[in-house]
Structure 1
Amino acid sequence: MLAYFAACAQLDPRPHIAEEIALAVADDAPLDRATAAVEASHPEESAFRLVVEGTEAFVVRVQTARMAKRSLDVQSYIWHADLTGMFFANELLLAADRGVKVRVLLDDVDARRNNDAIAALSAHPNIEVRTFNPFASRRGTLSLIAEGLRSFSRVNRRMHNKSWIADNRLAVVGGRNIGDEYFSASDEVNFVDLDFAMIGPVVRQASASFDEYWNSPSAYPMQALDPDKVSIEALDRLRPKLAAQAARAEDSPYARALRANDAINRMVEGDWPMQWARKYQFVADDPDKVTMKERDAKRAQVSAALVPVAQAAQTRLSIISPYFVPGDNGTALLTSAARSERNVRVLTNSLIANDVAAVHGGYSRYREPLLEAGVQIWELKPLAASKADSSFFGSSGASLHTKALAVDGRTLFVGSYNLDPRSAWLNCEQGVLVENDVLAQQLEQIFQKQTDGEHAWHVALEEGKMSWSDGRERLDKEPDASLGRRFQAWFARAFHLDAQL
């Protein structure tokens, strides 16, 4: 039976589509008026803000969607059909109704499960949704499995990029997908995450990268994948569902807490400090990475930009990576730096906090040599330390999702890139390198907060034995991990699954 489904599920080449590029900036939209003058007063510079709290990350996206007049370009690895996901979908639909050109580019590993709703949105004359490296089969578990077996090398490579670009004037890029857990709205586990909000020429760099992915042969419009589902009738059926979800969201505890938040209200009123920088670089992998041959050097463009930055550290290198599998080369770089009396610090997930337990198994193979060389390692605890760090619904846990590094209190990187083989060789990634003392020190402060005893365990190696300490208690085995998680981690370690992690 699987052979039958595999034979049916073959992805045809994408039909020819005329190239599209982002709409140019102008001077007649609210975002133009909010940014044009300040951009002009900082020639050749761009402004950046670290968006730490999930609530602020949610509001800046909503506000820019409502302010947009010309275009909204959204790129995401995941878009859940939950409270925040449906709310954002409704905001994009309302923007399109106002005449805004909306382009949405989604990786198909998650988009496929929402195929019908995505196709319905695509029926709007001002909305186009494309899925990246899609599955030929649009529904059904057996067909998905069969296609995965038949085309594993292709479908194993995903687009992990995340961007939100409004009127080519303001962009938000970083680690957040679209879903409750990324915006502190989940009543289960929320992610500790980080974005850059940006204005200035760097936004046009982000738009150029979006265009490159949008025009890639791997980006298929829904009209080509499932034309029967792209219909005005389907859109008409979707509209009241999105409106009803949005209305419920507006009256949710999450929305009420947002309205009462002084910091959010100040931001909406324009009190939103940003830092200007002359030296910055938006870096992204080539979208053709999903079709390049294994270990082709061109496949690792983001890591190629990050390695020399890390190697140039003179005093301190701080790394935050939820999926941390440094491999032989990464381990050599970090241990060499530590042995050269540079302060090398790493924050990653503990086994119990990691949402992919197998990744922890890959990481654990390198943990001991890193510690032996003097690399300091902290592992995030699963429980939020205080109400301020948790969901408005009283989340039961937290998991690290921030991907960032800081060098010498001067340079920082924020993006989608994990320090692991999957980010280097399989997934398409992106991020922003910025040279700015204030921003780098802010990231160091985030690192300090997330590695205190309330949030993380400090991992040590003494006389060949591992220990985990939070300053109050000391443990001699992986804290709080279940037998099932331990088995998954052991399996990944024992069978050297590093290349897939």
Structure 2
Amino acid sequence: MLGTGWTASITAFAAFALAAASVMHALLQRRETGTVIAWVGLIVLLPVAGSILYWMFGVNRIRRRAHALREGHLLVDPAAHNTNETGIPPRWSRLLGCGDRLAPFRASTGNSVRPLLSGDQAYAAMLEAIDGASRSITLATYIFDYDVVGQRFVRHLKAARDRGVEVRVLIDGIGARYSRRNTLRFLRRAGIPAAAFMPVHHLPRTLAAFNLRNHRKMLLVDGEHGFTGGMNIRRGHSASDPGPHPIQDLHFEVRGPICLQLQRIFAEDWQFSTQEKLEGAPWFPEMSRPAGALLCRALPDGPDEDFEVIKFTLLAAIAEARERITVVTPYFLPDLELLGALKAAALRGIEVDLLLPARNNLRLVEWAGRPLHGEILTRGCRIWLTPPPFNHSKLMLVDREWILVGSANWDPRSLRLNFECNLECLDRELAQQLADWAEDLRSRSHPLTLDDVHARSLPARLRDGAARLLTPYL
């Protein structure tokens, strides 16, 4: 039997080896110097605990897409070749060309996009579409609470399944745990094929993927009628009966070739999670006629082959702006590149308006973002603090013509860790609708000034500065 001294020596050596391996991995894999320093410092100070936290929250890349799947399903997607090149205004050709190089899809014409400005409006349209399904329904969401709203969706999905419609439901493995009663269990009891995206109960095998979540929200009906945006399925989004935690958000009803792009993204996530391959007419029908005239593209983003697609799209859009940039986001923790791009745009004379919640549902994120306010305002950007209810909307408008909407926030979690899906659209009418919505929100918001920033108490500023240090871990 080993003595106490030998046991202590072996334990110490194991802790040192774990810490050394973690430090080497961080040095080889991480990109931002500040993030590398933060993780290495934590590992050195707390060799065991820091290493465990690093492998749980710091390993942010996976390779999940087979080469054949990527080439066979995405890069030669039929909708990718429907773009009328002569219909792209020269003003936007460089920005759309950037998307061609970043994303697996080309921007396609023949789409329609309708904004849904409340949960009541969005859920009613989604349930009506589910009731009208004849071939297939695919639903992906981060959160699917088993509350009054979630139960309604389960009933309608079961009715579709009972009349012979093929149904598939994908819920994020962490998001599924937000509800006291797990909706996956009730879906499966109803005979609906449902799966969790990267479930976390198989530890330690799933430890490295613990922090990589599927934040996408997509519903596709018969492969030709879709919904996407920022809304989860939960009571809080309902304007008429939100419960104790009301949430304002934007969602969008889409038709046309864009639906095939969204369906490709779902099919890839579903195959990754279940090994089932969705193909054929029930899922990918032939588009017989255009649904509208809108130019649109899906931008999948994640810690895999689609890494930083949305971040570079944001940077390119900021650089392309000539008059005005409007950003609505619930979580604003941009990295130095995005922060510098916004400030440079304001210095060029571009009107830069940032609409952020006056009170965030994640206080640590709110505190971490506050130290940025002074330097943003100093360079000419404007910050508007939106009133309750908590605004979870995600929107970017450039010159009231180019639009970016979807599931991604302006924070490290969305731009580096989560699997996200945004829509890039080019349409003056839609942009004007959303600009009017943003202007109404701005008219009800409080303009943050440098005097407000300087008036913050010393304890509050110290707390915010300390929270800012946690950004690499957020």
TM-score > 0.5 by shorter chain = yes
Match of 1:457 among 446, 449, 461: 446
* Structure 1 position 380, deviation (Å): 1.4
Could you list the per-position Cα deviations for residues 182-225 of structure 1 after superposition, in whole angstroms to 9, with x for gaps in the alignment?
Answer: 23231323211111211111111111111111112xx2589xxx
Correspondences of 1:66-81 after superposition (within 5 Å): 66-81=131-146
1:158 equivalent in alignment to 2:213 = yes
For the 8 Å contact 1:326–1:366, the answer to whether it is kept is no
Task: Summarize the Cα distance change of 1:492–1:180 in structure 2 as closer, same or farther, 3 Å threshold.
Answer: farther
Correspondences of 1:359-370 after superposition (within 5 Å): 359-370=365-376
* Structure 1 position 496, deviation (Å): 1.0
* Structure 1 position 426, deviation (Å): 0.8
- 1-side partners of 2:138 and 2:320: how far apart? 35
Match of 1:56 among 105, 116, 121: 121
Structure 2 partner of 1:498: 471
- 2-side partners of 1:321 and 1:117: how far apart? 28
DSSP-derived class of the 1:406 partner = strand
Structure 2 partner of 1:202: 258
Give the gaps of 5 or more residues in structure 2.
1-48, 57-63, 78-107, 277-289
Match of 2:270 among 195, 200, 214: 214
Match of 1:466 among 446, 453, 467: 453
Structure 2 partner of 1:357: 363
For the 8 Å contact 1:277–1:435, the answer to whether it is kept is no
Structure 2 partner of 1:283: 299
Correspondences of 1:324-403 after superposition (within 5 Å): 324-350=332-358, 353-382=359-388, 398-403=389-394
Task: Summarize the Cα distance change of 1:275–1:196 in structure 2 as closer, same or farther, 3 Å threshold.
Answer: farther
Give the AA of the match of 1:203: C
For the 8 Å contact 1:49–1:196, the answer to whether it is kept is yes
Structure 2 partner of 1:190: 246
- 1-side partners of 2:227 and 2:234: how far apart? 15
Give the % identical residues: 26
Give the structure-1-normalised TM-score: 0.66
Structure 1 partner of 2:224: 169
- 2-side partners of 1:298 and 1:65: how far apart? 30
Correspondences of 1:220-259 after superposition (within 5 Å): 220=274
Structure 2 partner of 1:121: 187
**Number of equivalenced pairs:** 363
Task: Summarize the Cα distance change of 1:493–1:80 in structure 2 as closer, same or farther, 3 Å threshold.
Answer: same
For the 8 Å contact 1:327–1:366, the answer to whether it is kept is no
Match of 1:101 among 141, 166, 172: 166
Could you list the per-position Cα deviations for residues 416-454 of structure 1 after superposition, in whole angstroms to 9, with x for gaps in the alignment?
Answer: 0111111111111111011000111111111111111xx
Task: Summarize the Cα distance change of 1:93–1:334 in structure 2 as closer, same or farther, 3 Å threshold.
Answer: same
- 2-side partners of 1:96 and 1:456: how far apart? 45
DSSP-derived class of the 1:168 partner = coil
For the 8 Å contact 2:300–2:306, the answer to whether it is kept is no
For the 8 Å contact 1:283–1:430, the answer to whether it is kept is yes
* Structure 1 position 44, deviation (Å): 4.0
DSSP-derived class of the 2:356 partner = strand
* Structure 1 position 317, deviation (Å): 0.4
Could you list the per-position Cα deviations for residues 338-378 of structure 1 after superposition, in whole angstroms to 9, with x for gaps in the alignment?
Answer: 0000000000112xx21101111221121111000000000
* Structure 1 position 494, deviation (Å): 4.2
Q: CA RMSD in A?
A: 3.4
* Structure 1 position 119, deviation (Å): 3.3
For the 8 Å contact 2:143–2:175, the answer to whether it is kept is yes
1:133 equivalent in alignment to 2:124 = no
For the 8 Å contact 2:146–2:181, the answer to whether it is kept is no
* Structure 1 position 116, deviation (Å): 5.7
Give the structure-2-normalised TM-score: 0.70
1:318 equivalent in alignment to 2:326 = yes
For the 8 Å contact 1:49–1:275, the answer to whether it is kept is no
1:441 equivalent in alignment to 2:425 = no
DSSP-derived class of the 2:360 partner = coil
Could you list the per-position Cα deviations for residues 231-256 of structure 1 after superposition, in whole angstroms to 9, with x for gaps in the alignment?
Answer: xxxxxxxxxxxxxxxxxxxxxxxxxx
Give the AA of the match of 2:297: Q
Give the gaps of 5 or more residues in structure 1.
25-42, 138-146, 223-273, 383-397, 468-475
DSSP-derived class of the 2:308 partner = helix
DSSP-derived class of the 2:450 partner = strand
- 2-side partners of 1:328 and 1:313: how far apart? 19
* Structure 1 position 327, deviation (Å): 2.2
Could you list the per-position Cα deviations for residues 45-100 of structure 1 after superposition, in whole angstroms to 9, with x for gaps in the alignment?
Answer: 10111111222101101100110111110000001111111111111111111111
* Structure 1 position 129, deviation (Å): 0.8
DSSP-derived class of the 1:79 partner = coil
- 2-side partners of 1:153 and 1:121: how far apart? 28
- 1-side partners of 2:322 and 2:468: how far apart? 37
Structure 2 partner of 1:34: none
DSSP-derived class of the 2:215 partner = coil
Could you list the per-position Cα deviations for residues 315-350 of structure 1 after superposition, in whole angstroms to 9, with x for gaps in the alignment?
Answer: 000000110112211110000000000000000112
* Structure 1 position 277, deviation (Å): 3.5
DSSP-derived class of the 2:213 partner = coil
DSSP-derived class of the 1:215 partner = helix
DSSP-derived class of the 1:49 partner = strand
